Amino acid sequence: MGLFDIARAAGFEVHGGPEDTRATRPSLITRFPGRALKLDWFLSRGLTLGAVEIRPSPGPDGTPLSDHDAIVARI
């Protein structure tokens, strides 16, 4: 049983897009830039959420500002 299955069994909802998405990009300090991961998830329980949005982290010139994207949720 995976993390999200355990979370759902405990009453959590998983937000952040399709679970099989590999969207995390390398940052300026990424030790293993060849790895394709998705690290940006939001779990909620007992909340009413509006749209959950993932905002990309590259700067205007494409330079990665972080290896994580921002998750925005209206509660």
Kindly report the backbone phi and psi dihedral angles of residue 7, in degrees, each rounded to the nearest multiple of 5, phi listed first: -65, -45
Read off the pLDDT band of 35 (50, 70, 90): low
Please say whether the beta carbons of 33 and 26 come within 8 A: yes
Question: What is the mean pLDDT of the segment spanning 36-61?
Answer: 82
Q: Are 17 and 54 spatial neighbours (Cβ–Cβ below 8 Å)? A: yes
Mean pLDDT of the chain: 78
pLDDT at 21 over 90: no
Q: Say whether pLDDT at 6 is over 80.
A: yes
User: pLDDT digits over 60-73, tens only?
Assistant: 998 878 777 788 88
pLDDT bracket for residue 10 (50, 70, 90): very high
